[in-house]
Amino acid sequence: MRPDAKVYVAGHDGMVGSALVHALRARGFTNLVWRTREQLELLDQRAVRDFFLAERPDHVFLAAARVGGIIANNTYRADFIYENLTISANVIHAAHESGVTKLLNLGSSCIYPRLAPQPLKEEYLLTGALEPTNEPYAIAKIAAIKLCESYRRQYGRNFVSVMPTNLYGPGDNFDLESSHVLPALIRKCHEAKVRDDHAITVWGTGNPRREFLYVDDLADACMFVMEHYDEEPFLNIGCGEDLTIRELAELVAQVVGFRGGVRFDESKPDGTPRKLLDVSRLRALGWSPKVGLQAGIAKAYNWFLEHAAPRVHAQAD
Ligand code: GDP
């Protein structure tokens, strides 16, 4: 990327998009473009097309998506498939029409078959049935991969996809109904500590295994891929290590300083039993993460204390 390249970050105000903006600025990119949802509705095909033709960005990070944890995915199934399909189709097609030099499309590790061998290699895509709780979201993300591949094959576009593992960090969603597990556990442990509760309640059996990546590491990996990788096959982005939800709950409790116990609510779904990415391709290209899980949880907790906890308390008052 030239230092003066015009870079559009779709989804700049989400957790991933804001980490990308931060990473771009830290590397000296100043010609950045974004729009709030009020300014540009990404579900509106004509508005997206007009925006791309007017701005003509050189590089695009497609980090806009409707995202959420296991219950949100399972409950708002139509919204998750419709919004993600439409955003991807609108942005990728407009990027093609306006002649974008390179686009990086962000997907998710839930694109892989529920019972695929672990760790998940990129080539396992479309080799088996998906996890039912997030199948609509996963289908939309698979379609986005295929959009990028197809515009590359038919029109020679340099559109690349990456599949991040479970992400966490500043700007995360801490709403207990719609969030992912890690921010939910930070909030549950914090509130239990403040209230001096005996235990927190964790959904499911605690046995599923998940891998987590701090969002600044993801942004760094995206910059690396944008600058160094122009091939068709998509790339996994993760740390290559996972742990059980029970172990995660214990680690979060330790970082937050909650000394009570953990209860499991088995009426809530476990989701896929394991979702560990094989990250050997990205490692072989020369990228690896910097923030360990414990240090990352401490950073995320500090962000929660400064930004989200006051709001949470204000809502409860
Ligand atoms: P997933 O990776 O798509 O399954 O999404 P989540 O991050 O929402 O959930 C990961 C795992 O954590 C699942 O097995 C959940 O049942 C479990 N889990 C335990 N407690 C919670 C919680 O409070 N919130 C969420 N979202 N998941 C939880």
CB-CB contact of 110 with 134 (8 Å): yes
Terminal CA-CA length for the chain: 49
Q: pLDDT at position 311, please? A: 74
Residues forming CATH 3.40.50.720 domain(s) in the chain: 7-168+211-237
CB 118 within 8 A of CB 75: no
Confirm if 104 and 162 have CB atoms less than 8 A apart.
Answer: yes
Mean pLDDT by 10 residues, the chain (317 residues): 96 98 98 98 98 98 98 97 98 98 98 98 98 98 98 98 98 97 98 98 98 98 98 98 98 98 98 97 98 98 93 66
Model pLDDT, residue 310: 78
- CATH fit for domain 181-209+242-275+292-316, picks 3.65.10.10, 3.40.630.30, 3.40.50.1370, 3.90.25.10: 3.90.25.10
Residue 156 CB burial class (10 angstroms; 0-12, 13-18, ≥19): exposed
Which residues, at least 6 apart from 38, have a Cβ–Cβ distance to it below 8 Å?
A: none
Ligand 1 atom closest to Cα of residue 185: 23
The half-sphere exposure of 158 on its side-chain side, counting CA atoms within 13 A, is: 15
pLDDT at 316: 61
Collapsing DSSP to helix, strand or coil, 106 comes out as strand
**SS3 (DSSP) at 28:** coil
Architecture label for domain 7-168+211-237: 3-Layer(aba) Sandwich (3.40)
Ligand 1 atom 3: the closest Cα is on which residue?
70
Is-catalytic flag, 137? yes
Mapping DSSP to helix (H, G, I), strand (E, B) and coil, where does residue 93 land?
Answer: helix
Tell how far the Cα of 166 is from the centroid of ligand 1, in angstroms: 10
Provide CATH 3.90.25.10 ranges for the chain: 181-209+242-275+292-316
Q: Which of 15, 66, 70 to mutate to test the pocket of ligand 1 (most atoms within 8 A of CB)?
A: 70
Q: Does pTM surpass 0.75?
A: yes
What pLDDT, on a 0 to 100 scale, did the predictor assign at position 314? Answer: 67
